[in-house]
Amino acid sequence: MGVGMATVMLFLMLMIACIEWVKYLNRNFTALEQQAQKARRKSGNSPAKQQVISAVPVEVFAAAITAFEADSKTS
């Protein structure tokens, strides 16, 4: 029982070390990403605020669903 608990503890410590190592390797990317997010907030041109325009009308989706359901009922 003690060996199993020690193995789990060793595994968890190894995982924490790996996470910290990846965090250290990505520190420059993280800083650049945070600066980009701040710049987007300041500019007001956030992609989340822009309305997504669908290329296909809703009627086409409804017709496709109806055709699929009719096809699945017959087969």
Q: Phi-psi region for residue 58, left (φ > 0), alpha (ψ -120 to 50) or beta? A: alpha
The total of structural domains in the chain comes to 1
Any idea which residue has 């060996």 for tokens?
3
Domain extent, residue 60, equals 2-74
In this structure, which amino acid lies at residue 7? T
pLDDT band at 74 (very low <50, low <70, confident <90, very high): confident
| Distance, CA of 17 to chain centre | 24
Residue spans of alpha helices (H) in the chain: 2-25, 27-43, 58-74
Greatest CA span in the chain, whole angstroms?
64
pLDDT band at 2 (very low <50, low <70, confident <90, very high): very high
Q: What is the pLDDT of residues 13-64, one digit of tens each?
A: 999 999 999 999 998 998 899 999 999 888 876 555 556 566 778 888 899 9
